[in-house]
């Protein structure tokens, strides 16, 4: 099986042509591929296949634990770069179908290569209310959070110092809290000023990652809701920076890089893969 490895601000993915043989890998096989020591190593696997709606392709994104996600902001940028540079979709504007709906994408091109990608992430959904919610943990702690959706679920927790945030402990607890029947991504956000926010993300089905595109958008939307942000913010993550903005129609836009790391062929004797 041929694969391509990409990252977007440190959030890394295996990209596979889902049109080949018309099949997808099983969750155990995806989990095996994403293992850092015995597989390729990644935060997730992206399959692209033909769209039934007229879009340039359909994206399916699976987390490192084999579960399927609705959308991935860093992943869709990587896929857009792959389509342009490797698959002959030579368009500076394209549409990619996801389980969270079709996403409009604009590419910046220099000397035939993609140097930047802007994704229209749509309008954030606060599920009828933008008020903070109180999440009570089994330990008795009560956390003030903001819950919203960008096609996938997010829970934003503002902290005083993102470096000191208890991500490893609170992340998995909040992810699987009964309030979130489909689990949730958890954002630990620190506002520096009206134009800059620092962020760490515990991703559903993965753990803490170097970056999360939809998480950056969710944190920005939550900061706007609290009156702490204007029309645009630079979101600093451990893997790099993303530029998030809101247009006059309420749509969030995410702009950031995507990088091809390497390509290869998976051995049928790969430990873990053949046992999956």
Residue 228 bridge partners (DSSP): none
- Rg of the chain over all Cα atoms, to the nearest angstrom: 18
Could you confirm whether 72 is annotated as catalytic? yes
239's CB contacts (< 8 A; 6+ apart) are 7, 9, 10, 11, 209, 210, 211
Instruction: Find out whether 28 and 62 touch, Cβ atoms under 8 Å.
Output: no
Sign of the Cα torsion 207, 212, 215, 219 reads positive
Among 34, 57, 212, 217, the one annotated catalytic:
212
Q: Which of 57, 72, 155, 217 is catalytic?
A: 72
Kindly give, in sequence order, each residue whose CB lies less than 8 Å from that of residue 252, ignoring residues fewer than 6 positions away.
120, 121, 122, 123, 124, 150, 217, 220, 221, 244, 245, 246
Terminal CA-CA length for the chain: 15
Please provide residue 212's backbone torsions phi and psi, each rounded to the nearest 5 degrees: -155, 115
Look up 212 and say whether it is catalytic: yes
* Alpha helices for 63-132 (secondary structure H): 73-86
Q: For residue 215, which of 231, 235, 201 has the smallest C-alpha distance?
A: 201
Nearest to 190 by CA among 177, 199, 202: 199
**Enzyme catalytic residues:** 72, 212
């Amino acid at each position: 099986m041929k694969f391509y490895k990409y990252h977007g601000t440190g959030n890394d993915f295996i990209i596979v042509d889902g049109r080949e043989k018309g099949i997808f890998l099983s969750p155990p096989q995806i989990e095996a591929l994403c293992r850092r020591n015995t597989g390729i190593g990644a935060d997730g696997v992206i399959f692209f296949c033909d769209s039934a709606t007229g879009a340039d392709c359909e994206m399916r994104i699976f987390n490192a634990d084999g579960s399927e996600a609705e959308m991935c902001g860093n992943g869709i940028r990587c896929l857009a770069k792959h389509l342009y540079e490797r698959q002959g979709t030579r368009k500076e504007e394209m549409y990619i179908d996801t389980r969270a709906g079709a996403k409009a994408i604009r590419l910046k091109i220099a000397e035939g290569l993609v140097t930047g990608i802007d994704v229209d992430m749509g309008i954030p959904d606060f599920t009828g209310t933008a008020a903070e919610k109180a999440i009570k943990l089994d330990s008795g702690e009560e956390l003030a959070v903001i819950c919203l959706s960008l096609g996938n679920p997010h829970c934003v927790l503002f902290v005083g110092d993102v470096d000191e945030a208890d991500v490893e402990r609170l992340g998995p607890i909040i992810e699987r809290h009964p309030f979130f029947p489909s689990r949730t991504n958890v954002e630990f956000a620190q506002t520096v000023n009206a134009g800059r926010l620092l962020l760490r993300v515990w991703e559903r089905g993965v753990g803490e990652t170097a970056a999360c595109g939809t998480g950056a958008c969710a944190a920005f939307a939550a900061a706007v809701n609290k009156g702490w942000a204007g029309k645009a913010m630079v979101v600093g993550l451990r893997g790099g920076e993303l530029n998030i903005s809101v247009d006059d129609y309420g749509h969030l836009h995410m702009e950031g890089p995507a990088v091809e790391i390497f390509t290869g062929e998976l051995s049928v004797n790969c430990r873990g893969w053949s046992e999956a």
